Each structure stands twice: as C-alpha cells, then as structure tokens.
Structure 1
Amino acid sequence: MTTANKIQAVVFDWAGTTVDFGSRAPILAFMTLFSDNGVDLTIEEARGPMGMEKRDHIAAVLNMPRVAEVWKAKHGSAVTEADIDRLYQDFIPYQLKTIPLCSKLIPGALETFKNIRDRGAKIGSNTGYAAMMIGELIKDAADQGYQPDCIITATDARYGRPYPEVLWRNLIEFGVSDIKTVVKVDDTAVGIEEGLNGGCWTVGLAISGNEVGLSLEEWQALSADQQKVLRDKAYAKLNASGAHYVIDSIADLVPVLDDIEKRLANGEKP
C-alpha cells in the first residue's frame, strides 16, 4: 500500500471525543453562566451550538427566540455585542473550573491512539475551547497517556468551526497536503461540517459526546431500550450532518480506519 493509500493524520476534537464522556464540562459552564444572568437554559438550548468557538456559542444561544425574549424581559433591552463580550469574559472562569472536573479519557482511547501511531499516522487535535482554557486539560490528558502531535484551539485561528481553519492548521504543522488521507473525528454536527468543508473523511461519535450528553455512568445505568432510543436519535443527527461514518465512541474507530484505507486503495476519495 502506497503512502497515498494510507491514512496520514487523524484529527480529533477534545470534549466528548477523546476526553469527558458526555461532553459535560462546557454545558456545566454555559448553564451556570446563563442562570447567573437570569436566564435558565434547557439542556437542548445549551447544547445546540456545541462545537463552536465559545463566544460564538454564547451568541448563538442568545439568538434563539425564547432565550432572546427571556433576556430582554430580564435586562430591559435586546442583547448587544457588548453583552456578548461581557458574557464571554465572565464565562472563562466558569469553564476553567469545569474542565479539570471532566478530563478523564474516554474508554478505548489509548488503544485507538496506539493503533493510529502503529499505522505511522499523526494524531492532531482541535477544539472550541480557547487556548487559555485548556492548559490543565492538556496536562491531565498527558498524565493519562494522551499527547497529540498537534493542538490547535479556537483562539489560534481567525475563523472557527464550521470553517476548517483549525483543522487545516493541524495539517500544515504535519506537512500533510493530501487531504484524502486525513480523518476528522468529532461528536458534534458543526465539527463534522468542519471536516467536510476541509475535504476529509469524517467520523461522528454518537454516544460519548454532545448528542446523548450523559456521563459514562449515567449511560451504563440506562436500560437497553432507553439506550436504543438515545442511540437512534444521535445516529440520525450525525448521519444527517453528512458524516461518512457514525459510531458509538472512539473505542470503535479502528475498524473505520481499516475501511477508509481499503477505500483509498480502491481509489476512493471523501
């Protein structure tokens, strides 16, 4: 198999993809921030824009009709850009508190990382988190054995997801120019859109991340019927986003990578 037929890089999201089963750290911070500003969000509202850069996420939530109406009733006027700027600055300490509480690697991650390295491929990473937010997360991940070859954050780029700049910056660091040999793995629809816009193979993670939004313990406590309802809904959402593959979690990625390399050998492209 030639180099052109082998995966050269796999670029992962962080929360809900490699760490933080259920992608809980951002939600805990968003919901507390809005509650402290007189607006109680539903889980669905808080999770809706997940994967975006965090200021953009705040703006997207405030643009939701119900949230905008509650904000105006509480504060006496429609939200402004100054309000969004203030909320983002206020958000940072909330997020700094929650990220270290949710930094455990998702089961199966280390085995998958080893397989990728055994293929001779690079491991990239990008995130909707700002650079100032993830220092402790990077350290905690390293202590557990995860050290990606590249880390690009939302504030390292001019344009956030779904624009593929943070993805491409990983590839620039690696010197990878053949986009068909790259795989983007993410638990959010906007992250899948980023990968598609970048020209990569895309893999959506349905159970470990934003679409189900439960901790591992909460997920395991559900009955098989309850799990099926949530799994079917999450798979439908990520399939509708255009993902080439949808799987439960990072633990299921290796067979997908094998299949992609077979497709590359057959001359297929994303």
Structure 2
Amino acid sequence: MPNEATNGIQIEYDTFGNRSFPALLLIAGNGAQLLFWDAEFCELLAKTGLFIIRFDNRDAGLSSKFDEAGIPDIMAAIKAAMEGKKIVAAYSLDDMAEDCVGLLDALHIEKAHICGASMGGMIAQVLAYRYPQRVLSLTSVMSNTGNPNLPQGQPEAITAVLVPSPTERKAYIEHNMNVWRKIWSPGFPFEENRVWTYLEKSYDRSYYPQGMARQNMAILSSGDRTSSLSSIKVPTLVIHGSGDPLIPVEAGKDTARVIPGANLLIIYGMGHDIPTGAWPEIVTAISRHIQNVT
C-alpha cells in the first residue's frame, strides 16, 4: 500500500475506484487500522461512482507511531475527565483531523466527502467545523458529540474494550473475538469467520495496542464538542445503530440534533460495528447523501 508524508508524519493509505470520481475519505475508529473498512464494503461504495480512500490514523497500522509519548494511564484519565479536570494528551482530535487534510493535500484533492466511524466520526466532525472549505459532506457513524450528559455505554462493553489485549497471536485473537461479541449488533448474526479473519490480518499487519491508549487520550481531551458542532454547515448524515452497547443510540440522536439540518438514520439492531447485513442500507444511504450534494 502507498504512504504519504504529511503533517510531520507518514500516513499509510489505500484507494478504490476511479480517481476522477468524487472522493470519499473513510476514517477508522479507536485502535482500528484501515482494515476496519472491508475491501468489499469499499468496492460497493466505489461502484456508486466514488473514489474511496481508507487510511491508518496516526498511532495505528502502518502510519507513524508516537512511542516517545509513552503509554498513558487511561483509567486515571477517565477519572480526571469525570471530575472535570483538564486532560493532557500526546495529540488531539484536531491533530488527527489535520492529518486528514494533509493526506488530501498529498493526493491533490481540494474537497472530499468525509465519513468516520466511532472515533473516526469525531475526527470527521472536527474536519467539518475546522476545515469547511475542504469538506463536501459529512457522514458520522456510531459516534457522539462528547456531551458528558448523554447515557453511557454498557459497563460490560466498556470494560471489554479497555482491557489490554494479550501479546501472543492466538490469545490476542481469542480475547478480541470476545470484545467483538460484546459490542456486536444484537439484531444481526455474529460473523465469526469474518471477525476472526479481520483480527488475524490486523495482528499480522501491525500489533500496536499502545497506540489505542493514546488515541483514547485524544478523545478524552477533546471534551464536549457541542458548541463547535453547531457551526457545521456542510450537509450531514448521522448513522447509528439502535442496539449500540458502547455508544448508545442517544449519542447519534444528539449529534443529529446539534448539527443544523443533519439527517438521522437509525439502523434497527445494529451495534458498535458494521455488519454485512447492514451494508446495503448504509451504502445506499451514503450514496444518496453524496448524490444530493454533488
């Protein structure tokens, strides 16, 4: 896969479709590599007439790592955030949004449609209000506004995500299979073979759990983005699952309420994942959203 030097770091990326088509930048969530966006899912989007770009966020996959920043104490940071104290992070969601702009610059793309999932949705939101001149449309998937008053995720799901992964390959895969079961869509069958293959590829490509901890700190340090989100003027689609155990559906409703003119799509039974059974509805929704803009 190609990579580009931008914003002082290296960004690994991959593309699908015709470069002459409108660009759609896909931003992955906390700890996830570009593999989160299945190649088959990207191909489906590309077939709707889009040039798809997926990439590794900083501190994930084959993009630049921030080892010199050390491994933060996430539990202490969560406690501090709950007490309203300032969180000091190695980098911010703003920095990660700047990485996206830098990648678009390196690819000579002036404006793009932006879609992010979970933490990626937060980064996409920051892009939309900080760089509106670079964003054609925004799609925020299973994300939130940072509003501390929203309902929190289920304790089991939160604990599963925060427990450190084992270092040995098989143990890592088995541990994370359990994590995926905890956050999986309750209205869709668990895709054991697909998830197992995804975890194998992720481990073999780049086992790097410390990056996830620093990305968590970036999320915690961003605080409540509600005020900034209310300034977004680009066409916005919010997609959320009704059964999300990690970021409850109320967060999606809040995002759509805060961003002026945003459309909300709630997918019944979807959790904190994108099951293949939901692909047709999601691809159609994103495609129509983009077509209405372009």
Q: What is the TM-score of this pair, normalised by structure 1?
A: 0.41
For the pair shown, which has the larger CA radius of gyration, 1 or 2? 1
> Taking CA–CA contacts closer than 8 Å with sequence separation of 6 or more, which of the two structures ends up with the larger relative contact order?
1
Which is richer in strand? 2
Which is richer in helix? 1
